[in-house]
Amino acid sequence: MRTIQMTLDDNLVNAVDRVSKALTENKEIKMDTRQLIETYHNAWTTGDFVTARRCLADNLDFKGSIDKFQKADDFITALKGFQSMLRGVRLLKSYFDQNGAALLYDCDTVTPAGVIRTSEFFSADNGKITEIRLVFDASELRKLMGPK
């Protein structure tokens, strides 16, 4: 039993090492939808925006409760600002299918908005996230932002 467990652990470590190496070398890697969405979510919530960006199609279609973006680079710039306001993110539920996913999570912010319950819906194609719809109560954040 110990030999089997070690082999499984070794295989997992090797797989993670291969993905990390490919990302470091700026190589494209093929992931299934679940791997893609989980990689993206874990990356942005830990501040790894290089990995998060690599998960997104260049022409990402993003619509959220506050902003809209048609380019992944513009979206990542805004996401960096939001992530800097977080104490942490707690994933509550997730659903995955072949071409998309839905995540429900709490964003614990350092702002008076406090904890923001968030729903995020993804579409993916050819190993990239092509569309994100982000739904949350933005009323407290809008107050902090002031008039546009």
pLDDT at 44 exceeding the cut of 80:
yes
Give CA separation, 56 vs 28, 31, 36, 120, 145, in Å. Answer: 12, 12, 9, 14, 27
**Distances, alpha carbon 115 to alpha carbons 39, 109, 118, in Å:** 23, 6, 9
When pLDDT is cut at 50, 70 and 90, the band that residue 20 belongs to is: low
Model pTM above 0.85:
no
Class of domain 31-145: alpha beta
**pLDDT tens digits for range 84-136:** 999 999 999 999 999 999 999 999 999 888 999 999 999 999 999 999 999 99
